[in-house]
Amino acid sequence: MSDTIKIAYLYEDLMNTYGDSGDVKILAFLLKEQGYDTQVDNISLDDEFNAFDYDFLFWGGGQDFEQTVVAKDLVRHRQTIQDYIEAGKPMLCICGGYQFLGKYYETVGGDTIQCLDILPFHTVFKADSRMIGDTEYQTEWGTVRAFENHSGRTYFDDKKKLKPLGKMIQGYGNNPEDKAEGMRYKNTIGSYSHGPILKNENIARAIANEIIQSHNDRLAQTN
């Protein structure tokens, strides 16, 4: 029996743009308040990984070069990440990490990076603009304020299966047309929000509670 919550931070050393590792620090703080220590494992190139050894998966944003490097490694983990998501376990993916759950991502340099193809969306590049600035959007957990900086424009291929995380008040979110930010599927959240997003306390507390539930379920299964 252990009260240590286990978090896998996917490619932490390569994907952590604009303060995204702050999300994990905020969660560790909130979990500590509720009596739990947190262990964060960096799952990086060539590491073995079984998603079900963890209570929460986190994936931060990345620059195109790092995403190209990571893309070659992550195919090994496709099945375990898909099974984890389908089991309804909690995961938060930011920007480049979010893009990796979809079908493909077109870089500024004109390359198409094959992504995990776990969820039905894709991300394209258009020459005329990069989406940079403050964002504000309405979610189930209230208004979220954050920061975005991405060239990728994400479009859902199955709008029944995927729901947006929020409705834009300010900024771009997934793309300039849909007025929607991020993605929800079961207990997986994808978002373009840095800042980090979990400085927004309501959503941070909701995710912390999901993590505790996930932890209790994992212990119940292993005992």
User: Which residues of the shown chain bind ligand GLN in the complex (CB under 6 A)?
Assistant: 17, 61-64, 67, 95-96, 149-152
Give the CA dihedral 77, 71, 104, 160, nearest 10 degrees.
Answer: 30
Residue 122 annotated as catalytic: no
Which residue's Cβ lies closest to ligand GLN?
61
Looking at the Cβ atoms of 151 and 200, the one nearer to ligand GLN is 151
- Structure tokens that stand for 88 in this block: 């309804």
Instruction: Give CA–CA dist 153/221, Å, rounded.
Output: 40
Instruction: Label residue 158 left, alpha or beta by phi (over 0 means left) and psi (-120 to 50 means alpha).
Output: beta
Looking at the Cβ atoms of 56 and 100, the one nearer to ligand GLN is 100
Catalytic residue among 95, 115, 150, 215: 95
Q: Is 130 annotated as ligand-binding?
A: yes
Residue 95 annotated as catalytic: yes
CB 198 within 8 A of CB 23: yes
- Minimal distance in Å, beta carbon 29 to ligand GLN? 23
CB 113 within 8 A of CB 107: yes
Looking at the Cβ atoms of 125 and 137, the one nearer to ligand GLN is 125
- Minimal distance in Å, beta carbon 98 to ligand GLN? 8
Instruction: Give CA–CA dist 150/148, Å, rounded.
Output: 6
- Minimal distance in Å, beta carbon 204 to ligand GLN? 20
Question: Could you list the active site residues?
Answer: 95, 194
Q: Which residues are annotated as a binding site?
A: 130
